[in-house]
Amino acid sequence: MTMPRTRSFAQIDVFSTVPYSGNPVAVVLDGADLTDEEMQRLARWTNLSETTFVLPPTVPEADYRLRIFTPQGELPFAGHPTLGSARAWLDGGGTPQHADGIVQECAAGLVTVRRGKGTLSFAAPPRVRDGALDDTYLNQIVAAFGITRDQVVAHQWVDNGPGWAVLQLRTAEEVLALEPDLSLIPAAMVGAIGAYPEGSGHNFEMRTFAPGAGVPEDPACGSMNAAVGQWLTATGAAPSTYRVSQGTRLGRAASIEITVDADGTVWVTGAATVCIRGTIFL
């Protein structure tokens, strides 16, 4: 067991410019000597969707290595923890070695994070699984969502590590109306997205349900938005730049921008604000 000591700690609000209206992530900026069990215990205790630990990189091109834990287990990649941890690292005095951005090492590989005016963006990692859902799984999700098959415009595996699947519904209103029975899909990692009317402040509403990670509904999910962005822009179902609202049913005000570069890279952009800065005895 690691001997407890004082470590730098931050809590970051991600994907909202309104304080305490996005998705929080807890960041331990010095996790080098912690065991897996000690990291998991803290993640259970914070009871946030994710808690992260910054470690020295194992490859020369990375600025740091990140481990990401939900209350129930470790993830190879997650979006809002990537942006929140980058903000905490910069706030703690971190200096990128690359002029074009921060390079994060995680279990899913290297992820580039770039800085904008008051925002951070990460490059969407490759999907490890895509394609349409099989009928059995689709029917389970439809039943859990309490909807009918004809309400599903499209469906897809959008898995970039956590195991995401998504259903596209006709409207944002239908997405906001969902009252899912997650006991019917206890191991699922699934989202729903639907369009707002033209001229609205956002193009889509997203909701993300992660009972498989111990998170009934995530207020704002970067990894889901990254993979959905790759899918929707590749099929022409969304423009090369669009905005997603998330967390509305949870009383949050998350805003996520998806942009596709000329080379096809999908970037996920949002605000990331330090709300708590201090130390943790761990």
Q: Which of 37, 38, 50, 173 is catalytic?
A: 50
Query: Quick one: DSSP state of residue 125?
Result: P
* Contact (Cβ atoms closer than 8 angstroms) between residue 22 and residue 275: no
Burial class (CB in 10 A: 0-12, 13-18, 19+), 131: exposed
Quote the CA–CA distance of 164 and 240 in Å, as a whole number: 22
For 159, list phi and psi in degrees, rounded to 5.
-95, 110
Fill in the amino acid letter for 262: A
Residue 273 DSSP SS3: strand
Q: End-to-end CA distance of the chain: give it in Å, rounded.
A: 11
| Tokens representing residue 181 in the block | 């029975």
> Token match 């999908």: residue?
266
For 245, list phi and psi in degrees, rounded to 5.
-95, 140
* Contact (Cβ atoms closer than 8 angstroms) between residue 249 and residue 259: no
198 is known as an active-site residue: no
* Contact (Cβ atoms closer than 8 angstroms) between residue 279 and residue 11: no
Q: What is the 3 state secondary structure string of 7-50?
A: EEEEEEEECCCCCCCCEEEEEECCCCCCCHHHHHHHHHHHCCCC
The set of catalytic residues is 50
